[in-house]
């Protein structure tokens, strides 16, 4: 019998978790031809998520859980899940039921047809602010243009991965993780299905604007070196413009004489160049900081307790 792991990273999900479990258990009951494993990762929750996990484990031995030593973020919590999943394939689900478990049987059908990575594209995005939607569209367009990895828009972490993909992802142990990019990077046979993304069933979103911004910068810095080229391009443009400006001034001085003038020009040019230099330094700093973090070779996450895995 083939084994399917359902991986659920959880951060402060005490309200959603029991509801999510019921829905997943019902879905699993409709697929008796598979053996199931429900792998819950507690990512440093400050509420009763862990005790919920313990209760579920007592009710159902298919449930296993990993308790991380603190909040490491969803990206790292997912790696902990990849490391401990024992299934022949794995589906990553959010704990808030925004990714409906009822789509999983369809994913399994495609998996049986030989696809390694069945990802779900959302046709609706649920309740989200206008700004978040707009930023998301712009961001993916930018990332697509700057990086070689084909990171897809409206595709999240909700997907089925074959054992091959899990093993591949386990070898990618970078600290600043952008898992969406890693899915694209590993390749393998991919297939798309669509679903309607619902609203969160209970609790609040864990991703504020700052967290999303960090994830966004991680995505760009781990999949593209294009920003590093910005200073080269700006330098070229500024030098070229300066050259023409110089020619203009030489001619003007020849023809009209040279009364002392040009303070505004001077200050504008100085400030502009200062800005460009600081920007370039900042970009180099972003990459340097990440190199610094990677070279420490710390473990990506730490486990406090685990049960069933």
Which residues sit at the interface with ligand UDP, rule CB under 6 A? 9-11, 13, 43, 71, 73-74, 77, 94-96, 98, 200, 205-207
Least separation in angstroms between residue 153's CB and Mg ion is: 17
Residue whose CB is less far from ligand UDP, 5 or 98: 98
What is the rounded distance in angstroms from the CA atom of residue 88 to the CA atom of residue 5? 8
Q: Which does 14 bind (CB under 5 to 8 A by kind): Mg ion, ligand UDP, none?
A: none
Which of 12, 98, 147, 221 is the binder for Mg ion (CB under 5 A)? 98
Site for Mg ion in 75-94 (CB under 5 A): 94
Q: Which does 71 bind (CB under 5 to 8 A by kind): ligand UDP, Mg ion, none?
A: ligand UDP
Evaluate whether 84 touches 157 at the Cβ level (below 8 Å).
no
Least separation in angstroms between residue 152's CB and Mg ion is: 18
Residue whose CB is less far from ligand UDP, 13 or 176: 13
At 119 the three-state DSSP class reads strand
Instruction: State the pairing for strand pair 63-68/3-10.
Output: unpaired
Residue whose CB is less far from ligand UDP, 63 or 116: 63
Query: In 10 A of CB 162, how many CB atoms?
Result: 20
Residue whose CB is less far from Mg ion, 37 or 96: 96
What is the rounded distance in angstroms from the CA atom of residue 119 to the CA atom of residue 97? 16
Choices 29-37, 58-66, 95-103, 134-142 (CB under 5 A): range interacting with Mg ion: 95-103
* DSSP code per residue over 54-111: HHHHHH-TTEEEEEESS---HHHHHHHHHHH--SSEEEE--TTSSS-GGGHHHHHHHH
Query: With binding defined as CB under 5 A, does residue 13 bind Mg ion?
Result: no
Q: How many residues of this chain bind Mg ion (CB under 5 A)?
A: 3
Residue whose CB is less far from ligand UDP, 44 or 227: 44
Q: Which residues contact 157 (CB under 8 A, 6 or more apart)?
A: 74, 78, 92, 94, 179, 180, 183
Query: With binding defined as CB under 5 A, does residue 96 bind Mg ion?
Result: yes
DSSP one-letter code for 202: S
Question: What does the binding site for Mg ion look like in residue numbers (CB under 5 A)?
Answer: 94, 96, 98
């Amino acid at each position: 019998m083939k084994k399917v792991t359902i991986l659920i990273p959880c951060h402060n999900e005490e309200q959603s978790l029991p509801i999510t479990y019921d829905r997943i258990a019902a879905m699993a009951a409709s697929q008796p031809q598979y053996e199931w494993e429900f792998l819950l990762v507690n990512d440093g929750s400050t509420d009763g998520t862990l005790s919920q996990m313990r209760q579920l484990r007592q009710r159902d031995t298919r449930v296993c859980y990993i308790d991380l030593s603190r909040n490491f973020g969803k990206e790292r919590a997912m790696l902990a899940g990849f490391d401990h999943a024992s299934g022949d394939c794995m589906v990553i689900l959010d704990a808030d039921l925004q990714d409906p478990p009822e789509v999983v049987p369809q994913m399994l059908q495609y998996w049986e047809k030989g696809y390694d990575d069945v990802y779900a594209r959302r046709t609706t995005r649920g309740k989200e602010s206008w700004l978040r939607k707009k930023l998301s569209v712009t961001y993916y367009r930018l990332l697509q243009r700057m990086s070689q990895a084909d990171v897809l828009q409206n595709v999240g972490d909700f997907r089925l991965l074959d054992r091959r993909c899990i093993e591949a992802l386990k070898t990618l142990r970078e600290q600043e993780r952008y898992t969406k990019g890693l899915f694209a990077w590993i390749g393998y046979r991919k297939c798309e299905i669509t679903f309607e993304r619902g609203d969160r069933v209970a609790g609040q979103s864990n991703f504020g604007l700052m967290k999303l911004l960090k994830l966004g910068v991680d995505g760009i810095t781990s999949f593209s070196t294009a920003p590093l080229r910005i200073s080269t391009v700006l330098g070229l443009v500024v030098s070229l413009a300066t050259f023409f400006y110089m020619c203009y001034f030489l001619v003007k001085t020849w023809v009209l004489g040279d009364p002392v003038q040009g303070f505004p020009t001077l200050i504008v040019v100085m400030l502009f160049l200062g800005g460009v230099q600081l920007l370039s330094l900042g970009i180099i700093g972003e990459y340097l900081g990440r190199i610094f973090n990677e070279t420490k070779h710390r473990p990506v996450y730490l486990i406090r307790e685990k049960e069933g895995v």
